[in-house]
Amino acid sequence: MNEGMPSTLTLATASGLIATFFIFILCRTIFHPLRSFPGPWLNATTELPSALRLAKGQQHIYYHRLHQEYGPVLRTAPNELTFTSDQAWNDIYGLKNGVVLEKSPIFIGIASPMNGCVGVGLAKGKEHTRQRRALAPGLSKTALYKQEEIIQRHVSALLDLLRKNVERDEPSNIAEYFSFTTFDAIGDLSFSEPFGCLEQNKTTEWASAMRQVVIFASYDQAIRRVAGVDTWLRDLLLKVCMPAKAAHWRMLHVKKSLEKTAQRLEKPDSEKQDMIYHLLREKDPKKSLNHDEIKLNMMLYISAGSETTSITLTAWAYLIGTHPEAYRQLTDEIRSSISSSADIKVDTVMSLPYLGATINEAMRLFPPGAVAMQRMVPSGGITIDGNYVPGGTTVSVAPWAASRSPDNFHEPDSFRPERWLQTLDQYQDKVFENDRLGASRPFGYGPKRCIGEDLSYLEARLIISHLLFTFDMELVDGHSPGAGANLRWGLRADSESIQLYQVLMKPDLWVRLTKRKNVG
């Protein structure tokens, strides 16, 4: 044999690898059960495109661009489809014949299993139903109305800090102040003890962790897409690829949550009606949680109940600050309905239609949790928006793409609160009569939708009503401190200036508040 010539074994090995590669490609394209669904060729062969965009915080924009090109049904990965229609929300997340699609194994929650227990975010079937029933009393409208005083107290502290900025003629980073308020409020609602942001007028270490912990979850999900679940490769990639800061912030949140929950559990006789009070009252094993389950759920509750609301509020402030006519209509509604700050109560603010419409429109344009929530199709397959999908397929609605789709909304990239008020004569406009409002579901849909929806709406309405009743507000101009940060906001659906790691990573937003004019 010539030394320069490859051996027969080498040629056979190379040929075998090439043949295996082509067979692999054929199996995922020509012979795959999802071969008829549209999407990029590369996505049909590998998880890498979706995984890389997820790790970069750009998956929502990537899916939007692909749906614009390929339509309302998209093959985003070899065994995965995403949808954008309102009907798909019902078909994927709704209850059909007593069956709910379970979460995909690649889904990763804030709280990992502990001592054989999981929180409601990862629970399945009857276990999920039991935990949700246990959590419901503390988050019911009745319970929240009783806790209105707690929320009002933190809103009052927020206003005091903002007044000091007004007196000094200084702009306010309203994104930061909204985070202070919602984080402190969730601490009080959870443990009867605020977390100290408003008192210290700064972002505490735990508050910083809250904003960053979701990066860990997104990286882990991206790695699961490529390496599988509970594999040695996943463990290796977590060590190699996970940003050190993300791992640090996650561990800090876990540590702080466990400590705070354990301290509260040591006071079972406390009469303060916080979240844990309601959980400890229930003695029926079918409706109660053990201590490990309580700890896991409090990790999720603190995260989901604070930063998501501040994201909505910040997006709302940007939108209302860049749309003078909407600002005028909203301030007119609030100030004509309320004669003094003492009148700003839950019952009052929940009855203001234009206020609700501006919040709904802010959540449509900037859904706080715009990441796709994957579900697994059961054996036998199901029909989703008129398309038969075989069993074993991962499916989801792409929230950002759905809420920004021209198939669902007239002028999808425009802030038009009146689209939510078409049942009221003064706001009716035929251009919105075909809007599919059900395509925007910022809290999810069905039996597993976000359990904190009522709390988020209540907080947002109270905070906004107090803010615009007390102050006049405008975004800082181009020559003021903070104006550069405001430029990261924008209405283009394909803008890469806002990242998404499980939730939107809201940029700072600087506003100038002044004492309200024309009082009385």
Q: Which residues are annotated as a binding site for heme?
A: 450
The helix (run of H) or strand (run of E) holding residue 512 is strand 510-515
Residue 333 CA to residue 349 CA, distance in Å, equals 10
Beta strands in 332-488 (DSSP E): 375-376, 382-384, 387-389, 394-397, 471-475
CB under 8 Å to 257, separation ≥6 — which residues? 295, 298, 299, 302
**CA torsion angle 41 46 51 56 (round to 10):** -50
CB under 8 Å to 494, separation ≥6 — which residues? 61, 64, 65
Long-range CB pairs of 221-230, under 8 A, 24+ apart, other chains included: 221/54, 221/106, 221/107, 221/108, 222/51, 222/52, 222/54, 222/55, 223/51, 224/105, 224/106, 224/108, 225/47, 225/50, 225/51, 225/54, 225/77, 225/106, 226/47, 226/48, 226/51, 229/105, 229/106
Q: Return the structure tokens found at 146.
A: 């009783």
Cβ atoms 446, 131 nearer than 8 A:
no
Q: Return the structure tokens found at 62.
A: 């990537």
Q: Which residues are annotated as a binding site?
A: 450
Residue 302 CA to residue 179 CA, distance in Å, equals 12
Cβ atoms 493, 412 nearer than 8 A:
yes
376 φ/ψ angles, rounded to the nearest 5 degrees = -105, 130
- The residues with which 22 forms a beta bridge, in sequence order, are none
Beta strands in 31-134 (DSSP E): 73-77, 80-83
Q: Which residue has 């502990």 as its token pair?
A: 114
Single out the residue of 441, 297, 430, 317 nearest to residue 368, CA to CA.
441
CA angle, corner 449, sides to 78 and 355, nearest 5?
120
CB under 8 Å to 462, separation ≥6 — which residues? 148, 151, 152, 155, 344, 346, 349
> Of all residues in the chain, what percent are helix, strand and coil, respectively (each to 5)?
55, 10, 35
Cβ atoms 392, 79 nearer than 8 A:
yes
Q: Which residue has 């009503």 as its token pair?
A: 465
Residues in the chain: 520
CB under 8 Å to 33, separation ≥6 — which residues? 390, 393
Q: How far is CA 336 from the centre of its chain?
A: 33
